[in-house]
Structure 1
Amino acid sequence: MVRRGVCTVLTAAALVSGCSFAPPYQVPPSAMPSGFKEARGWQLAQPADRMPRGAWWTVYRDPVLDGLESRVASANPDVAAAIARHDQAQAYLDQAGAGLFPTIGAYAQVSRSRQSDNRPLRGATQPALYNSATVDVGLNYDLDLWGKVRNEVAAGKAAEQASQYDIESLRLSLQEKLAEAYFHLRGLDQQQELLGNTVRTYEHALQLTESRHVGGIASDLDVSRAQTQLESARASVEDVSARRALYEHAIATITGKPASRFSLALTVDATYLPSIPAGMPLALLQRRADVAAAERRVAQANAQIGVARAAFFPDVSLGLDGGYQSTTLSPWLAAPNEMWAIGPNLVMTLFDGGRRAAVTRQAQAKLAENGEKYKAAVLLAVQQVEDQLSQLHYLGNESTKEGLALAAAQRTLELSMSRYRDGVVSYLDVVSAQAMELETQTLLLDLQTRKLIASAALIEALGGGWTNEPVDTLTSTTK
């Protein structure tokens, strides 16, 4: 009869073991465009996150940058902290997963006791002194009829995946910040070279003006203007050096090194600006780790609703207990001393003042919050891609026009210097032409730096680069 009852309980548990009160999960709909306004032929792919993220910075063909970027993942303390947070999420998932298995415990006790002579209901034949020896092994298994444990595992799995994507997102963000600081630094190196050449040119111009002044051809005003121009250029050299030091310190911190023991040699070689392939599959949601993390947190909140709703139903577990108990140590583990018990346990809260209902509402509100955060992440991702595409496009046009302006400024300077030597114009015309040429050259170098930074920001916005290979459109993160 007992065996039939146990079988009945197990059969009923099997019938309802697939029950879950979590809502059917769906990725929140987002306002994804059919294509990017600034893309000029690019197409959006379906959401997924299977595309590999590699050493995207190698497209700039700079060995120094390659060496610096390789240190971010291994030496940056922020990345290490994110990895530790992921380890915490993995441990929580393991804790939740342990609920899918039975709990087994053991108990043993050997004691000698004396009971009171005046103990209520004490039998006349019961001894005052007696021994007790017990060994017991028990098993308890939560039948999880309402999917509470399974939803806890699903929520923990989603949290662990989100934490992993957080690591990828942080690592990519730091890599992009390193590239940005590096491009700024190299741009300042080129400005230092430009200003160094400018200082030498202005020194020669000052010598020429002083010679003309001695000969009575030029005035004190011309000498003063030439000297002002020279000292201003020398001051600009110091300003560039000060700004370069700040970027060098930032690079040291990102790569996990003390700024006091880090330096980068001055290099004036222009960094290669990669061309972005036209018509490539722009799988935005496949590459953006922050979007994938936001989607996983929606799934986590969805599963937590199932956990909250399951609290309204009884917690049913199956218990099995067996062992030996005797008043003597010999023979102790013998058949007459055998004891066992088996049967289901049911625990249910009948009244809690609305606590469970409040917890359920909280879980539903969390789902709504995470859903809106996911939509915001998608919108931000689209904006960032549009921003950098437009920057590259318009900065390229500006560079072309500024190149023409530089050619005109150089021609103006040549004519002004020639006419000044001939005594046709004052040195003010030369000063103006020199200032215009320096300003145009500086602006061209700045545009080159801004294009490099925009390209790195676009790579970050795309999730770490691009590929021309076909994309698997199956969504891995929503399974």
Structure 2
Amino acid sequence: MLERIMIFAFLLMLSACTIGPDYHRPSVPTPDAWRYEEAQAKDTVNTLWWEQFEDPTLNELIHIALKENKDVKIAAARVEEFMGQYAAIRAGLFPQVAGSVSGQRKALTQYSNPPLSASADNPYNDFQALLSASWEIDVWGRLRRATEAARADLLASEEGRRGVILTVVTAVAIAYTDLLDFDRQLDIAERTAKSREHSLKLFQLRFDRGLVSELELRQVQSEYQSAIAAIPLFQKLIVQQENALSILIGRNPGRIARGKPLDELVLPAVPAGLPSQLLERRPDIRQAEQNLIAANARIGVAKALYFPVISLTGTLGAESTDLSRLFTGPARIWSYGANAAAPIFTAGGIAGTVKVAEAVQKQYLLRYQQAIQQAFREVEDALIDQGKSREQLQAQGQQVEVLRRYAYLARLRYENGHTSYLEVLDAERSLFNAELLYTRTKGELFRALVNLYKYMGGGWVVEAEKKGGINGDRNERVSGSADQHGR
């Protein structure tokens, strides 16, 4: 008995060994602060930022997208796939037990092994009921490293899913504000066309009476046709944008309801945050790190191939020629044993496998570092984009006011006979272009702010799912799987 206990203790001691490198997060230099950051920045990066627009229609569209978007559903199904893979690989750490029941009718000869006894019945029945167990003793940590890699794959898929949610939410917000932008530009084009149509009718009457030249009439007609030509472009953009937004919310192409017009949307606050916090918030960075952890663990899996695989096996059951006696004491059978299999000559095969695993780990390390650098760049670009877009919008707003006054004065001068209508046309053309540019810049500012929230990370993803009642059970199972492995 003592001998068995010592053997078991020895096996447990061996199983504490783990071949391969343990993971340590690489040291990556991070800037202390952003190059361009608003003084009025607020800690809103982990909030449901789209609610700051104060547009219930946008809130509803995002809520629908979280439930119905096909990319979100595909990403969730992919997490389920990796949960299954993790469960299957982790099962190898534990004994495997199987049961079998069989019944046969046999006939033997004197040449059988064992030979037929003269007193034995022939043919005869053979009934068996067996429980068999096997357990690979994870002496070198191969199974533990494989489980570690599978867990990292699972967590990487979960971060990938969160990254998809982040992308879809921001895409819906941008598509919606772009749609309102196109609505506004169409409105400007239609108002301008209507104004020029009125002018054209007046000039046609004056031309018919010989009060203006044909040159002046043709100039007015040209400006009218220019405004009319812009309308189909914006109508096309609106329909295409509605179709794109419909797909984002998981529906067939169709009309999209509007809430507030673009001018009434509230600009969200600029989110604040330190560069170092991106490592914990950005799903793409967290996914890249989990991929690195998985690749690091697979080096241990590859190196463990050099060492023997040790397994314990056992069988307990009953065998009888009489079914009624199958479960009696004399019918009991059992066996137990151990086996070991080790590579002797592989012609460099294992060394090649290790080399592949190490090369893959290097690739994922570089991808992790690249993801961090790209994240810093995206935030820096988004910060400067929204900041300068604000300045540009302010300047263009002032320009619109100046040109509106200029157009009014030009028409007044024309009506009083102090100038030609060419000056009026020039003023109205400048105002039309300035109004379009102002609207586009406002749309770009909304887009820049949405992208900034995207690039600052998805601390709000879990909160959005909770509020929408989405994937709560699956999130708990992913967390449970990760915690279970950690223990």
Whether the 8 Å CA contact 1:406–1:440 is kept in 2: the answer is yes
- In structure 2, relative to structure 1, the CA distance for the partners of 1:390 and 1:126 (3 Å cut) is farther
- In structure 2, relative to structure 1, the CA distance for the partners of 1:465 and 1:395 (3 Å cut) is farther
Q: Does 1:432 align with 2:426?
A: yes
Whether the 8 Å CA contact 2:143–2:301 is kept in 1: the answer is yes
Aligned twin of 2:354? 360
Q: Does 1:107 align with 2:100?
A: yes
C-alpha deviation, 1:152, in angstroms: 1.4
Q: Distance in 2 between matches of 1:120 and 1:277?
A: 82
Aligned twin of 1:74? 67
- In structure 2, relative to structure 1, the CA distance for the partners of 1:98 and 1:266 (3 Å cut) is closer
Aligned twin of 1:248? 242
Q: Distance in 2 between matches of 1:378 and 1:229?
A: 51
Aligned twin of 1:17? 15
Aligned twin of 1:48? none
Q: Distance in 1 between matches of 2:130 and 2:238?
A: 73
Give the partner amino acid of 2:142. Answer: K
C-alpha deviation, 1:372, in angstroms: 0.9
Q: Distance in 1 between matches of 2:455 and 2:280?
A: 12
Aligned twin of 1:221? 215
Aligned twin of 2:84? 91
- Structure 2's unaligned 5+ residue stretches are 462-481
Whether the 8 Å CA contact 2:162–2:458 is kept in 1: the answer is no
Give the partner amino acid of 1:418. Answer: L
Aligned twin of 2:478? none
Aligned twin of 2:51? 58
C-alpha deviation, 1:110, in angstroms: 2.7
- Among 29, 35, 44, which residue is 2:27 paired with? 29
Which has the larger displacement, 266-275 or 142-151? 266-275
Aligned twin of 1:320? 314
Q: Does 1:140 align with 2:134?
A: yes
- In structure 2, relative to structure 1, the CA distance for the partners of 1:278 and 1:305 (3 Å cut) is closer
Name the one with the larger helix percent: 2
Q: Distance in 2 between matches of 1:85 and 1:26?
A: 27
Aligned twin of 1:7? 5
Aligned twin of 2:472? none
Q: Distance in 2 between matches of 1:278 and 1:157?
A: 32
- In structure 2, relative to structure 1, the CA distance for the partners of 1:223 and 1:120 (3 Å cut) is closer
Partner SS for 1:37:
coil
Whether the 8 Å CA contact 2:57–2:257 is kept in 1: the answer is no
Scaled by the length of structure 2, the TM-score of the pair is 0.87
Q: Does 1:38 align with 2:28?
A: no
Aligned twin of 1:163? 157
RMSD: 2.8
Which has the larger displacement, 410-419 or 271-280? 271-280
- In structure 2, relative to structure 1, the CA distance for the partners of 1:54 and 1:402 (3 Å cut) is closer
C-alpha deviation, 1:394, in angstroms: 0.9
- Deviations along 1:90-143, whole A, 9 cap, x unmatched? 000111121122111223333232223445884674745343333222221222
Aligned twin of 2:399? 405
Q: Percent identity, aligned pairs only?
A: 26
Q: Distance in 2 between matches of 1:116 and 1:465?
A: 76
C-alpha deviation, 1:324, in angstroms: 2.5
C-alpha deviation, 1:321, in angstroms: 1.7
Q: Does 1:205 align with 2:199?
A: yes
Whether the 8 Å CA contact 2:70–2:250 is kept in 1: the answer is yes
C-alpha deviation, 1:4, in angstroms: 4.5
Q: Distance in 1 between matches of 2:286 and 2:343?
A: 38
Aligned residues: 462
C-alpha deviation, 1:328, in angstroms: 4.0
1:265-280 equivalent positions in 2, closer than 5 A = 265=258, 268-270=261-263, 271-276=265-270
Partner SS for 2:293:
helix
- In structure 2, relative to structure 1, the CA distance for the partners of 1:465 and 1:314 (3 Å cut) is closer
Whether the 8 Å CA contact 2:45–2:459 is kept in 1: the answer is no
